[in-house]
Structure 1
Amino acid sequence: MLDFYLIPDHQRQPGYPEEVELELAGELDYKTFGNLQKSGIIGSNYDYYTDFRWDTDIIKQICHKINLNQRLHHGDIENLLAILNKARSLNMGLLAYAD
């Protein structure tokens, strides 16, 4: 699973989420992540097995892509939207850790 943790944009990236008690926002499995990349929602520069970070601007861009492609609303999109909406509601970024 790829775990997404809430993190303020200004906070430095910890070595691991428990180091600073980050809150889990949600998770995506390998198949879902791949489907979202194939549909162009998640950029090909992100790797499922490599930790990465999305700041609030990147989250807004991803949400914009989803809104432009309303026809793409399926289970995979809904899973990602739940994670993104949680981060947006708290004005936070996301830190993804492959486990």
Structure 2
Amino acid sequence: LWSPMSGIRVKDIGEILFLFVFNRVEDMERMTATSPWLFDNSVLTKTIKEEIHPSEIKLMNVSFCTCVHGVPLLCFSKDVRGVTGTVIGDLLDVEVVNG
């Protein structure tokens, strides 16, 4: 999926908590630039500093980009977009793409 050039190690560090260690900074930066990632209903999301243990990080929420197709033109009003977005979670932004 990420195709790291120099490999990657995965460490089980606690209950439902895994640490992905990249051998090259460039590989990690490429992966995190397009994060968050979902894998088997789990979220892969945080880059951490070495001095912080991953169990100390609170994973309360994460932002995702979603795409909704076939929405009727009448639903493009700001009020309707806001209601539709909040069904999924907190709405951060709406981008309307023509086509």
Could you tell me the TM-score, scaled by structure 1's length?
A: 0.22
Larger radius of gyration: 2
Choose between structure 1 and 2 for higher RCO, CA contacts under 8 A separated by at least 6 residues: 1
In terms of fraction of residues, the more helix-rich structure is 1
